[in-house]
Structure 1
Amino acid sequence: MSDAHEHSHAPANFNRAFAIGIGLNIVFVAIEAFYGWKINSLALLADAGHNLSDVAGLVLAWGGALAGKLRPNVRHTYGWKRGSILAAFANALLLLVAIGALVWEAVGRLVSPDPLAGTEGGTIMAVAAVGIVVNTVTALLFMRGGKKDLNIRGAFLHMAADALVSGGVVVAGALTLWMGWVWLDPVVSLLIAAVILLGTWSLFRQSLHLLFDGVPDSVDLMAVRQSLLDLPGVTQVHDLHVWAMGTSQIAMTAHLITPGGHPDDAFYRHAADVLHDRFEITHVTLQVVREPFMPLCGEVAPS
């Protein structure tokens, strides 16, 4: 059995982004809680509790990122890279719960409008404006990593969603003070909840898919098979498996049939380079034999 491993392009370090984001959001929770208590606003106090869950979400994502960097050992030969997938999945669940709470609150306000909307609307809008700044800055810290790392994308979506909610509060509050439309705030909240759900559902689906060793969305399995068949001397590909080790690293194993004999090191180096450059597969294990002798394990047949 022969192995070819490519370990370049390690996940980017977002420790500073997490530390800043968590610090900013803890300060904002304190501001919301203080003014909620001062003006007796249940809405601000409830949102302070919601933003406290955002801090928990950031801590969770940070923990998943740190777990993914732990070195392998004899008990965990891949390390704890899957921790980042678990963190992304947990963040998706937190967002779905937050959406449910937002919808519940909005429906409640449609049935029983908040009397504070007309008396303390200015204070609520000012606090929400602070929330826009805090959540936008935090989201921007994670934006560059959200395209390639599902865990970082979860942190980005969490913060972007809250910035959107705070923006909706400011706009709805201004129109309510100007036009007296008390019903506008809950309607805007429902619209925002629908927008957040669209992004969150994708995060939930992808993280759940990866938890069950699904082929990452960025990888075309049949194209991988064809790339292996295109290698010199390869006539068949058996037991091809591709899965995510974490939210930023992809692994692959396969049995290659080469009737002409066993290849040299250049063959494995070329195979690893092709798989890395075309599919960003960073961990490649290839078993090369002249004729198949291992039983197939229910792999997907080529189309």
Structure 2
Amino acid sequence: MLAVATLGLMVNLISMRLLKAGSGQTLNVKGAYLEGWGDMLGSVGVIAAAVIIKVTGWTLADPVVAVLLGLWVLSRAWVLLQGVPEGVDTEAIRQAIHSVNGPIDVHEFHVWALASTEPVLTAHVVADQAVTTADTLRAQLTDLLHEKFDIERVTLQIEATACACCGVSKII
């Protein structure tokens, strides 16, 4: 078992070295890099627990190491959750959307990072049909979000009234 853990440690060190260069580029590579860290620490933990048990006979070393590894992996899992990218002011984006002539309400509003740095926005926008059409409003908002906030990937659902998640649905 110790030989397998040692071989696993060597393989993980090599894979981590290969992934390190791209770990800041995309969320996928960052996730693979962190997975490599978890595997490498798992190998170190198995080796350490085996040595402790062999030398001292303290068999609780194995579950203690397992719990510590679990906590380490859990704390790193937050990196992989979709969150608002650094530097993106969601309140400023909401205000900019409302500054355009036509939106009455914005809901189901989400901004997250598609890769490590590329912001993506989805939202439902209730439009004042007396002021604008759905296509015109969608184009205006898409241009605004690109020009003012550098958000390239925008999905807008233009509605005449609040959708089913918030009320009666009528998409225009």
Give the deviation of 1:238 after TM superposition.
2.8
2: CA distance, partners of 1:192 / 1:223: 40
Deviations 1:255-292 (A, max 9, x none): 566959x79x89853432223x3xx45235586xxxxx
Query: Residue 143 of structure 2 corresponds to which residue in structure 1?
Result: 269
2: CA distance, partners of 1:259 / 1:222: 24
Higher RCO (C-alpha 8 Å, min separation 6): 1
Local SS of the residue matching 1:234? coil
Give the deviation of 1:146 after TM superposition.
6.5
1: CA distance, partners of 2:108 / 2:60: 53
- TM-aligned CA distance change 1:162 to 1:282, over 3 Å: same
2: CA distance, partners of 1:246 / 1:284: 14
Give the deviation of 1:158 after TM superposition.
2.8
AA partner of residue 136 (structure 1): L
Q: Work out the percentage of aligned pairs sharing the same amino acid.
A: 21
2: CA distance, partners of 1:190 / 1:266: 52
- TM-aligned CA distance change 1:193 to 1:203, over 3 Å: same
Aligned-residue CA RMSD in angstroms?
Answer: 4.4
Contact 1:131 1:166 in 2 (8 A): yes
1: CA distance, partners of 2:15 / 2:104: 46
1:296 aligns with 2:166: no
Query: Residue 122 of structure 2 corresponds to which residue in structure 1?
Result: 252
Contact 2:94 2:106 in 1 (8 A): no
- TM-aligned CA distance change 1:221 to 1:256, over 3 Å: farther
Local SS of the residue matching 1:294? strand
AA partner of residue 193 (structure 1): G
Query: Residue 238 of structure 1 corresponds to which residue in structure 2?
Result: 105
**Structure holding more strand per residue:** 2
Unaligned 5+ runs, structure 2: 167-172
1:189 to 66, 77, 84: 66
**Structure holding more helix per residue:** 1
- TM-aligned CA distance change 1:274 to 1:177, over 3 Å: same
Runs of 4+ in 1 over 6 A off after TM superposition: none
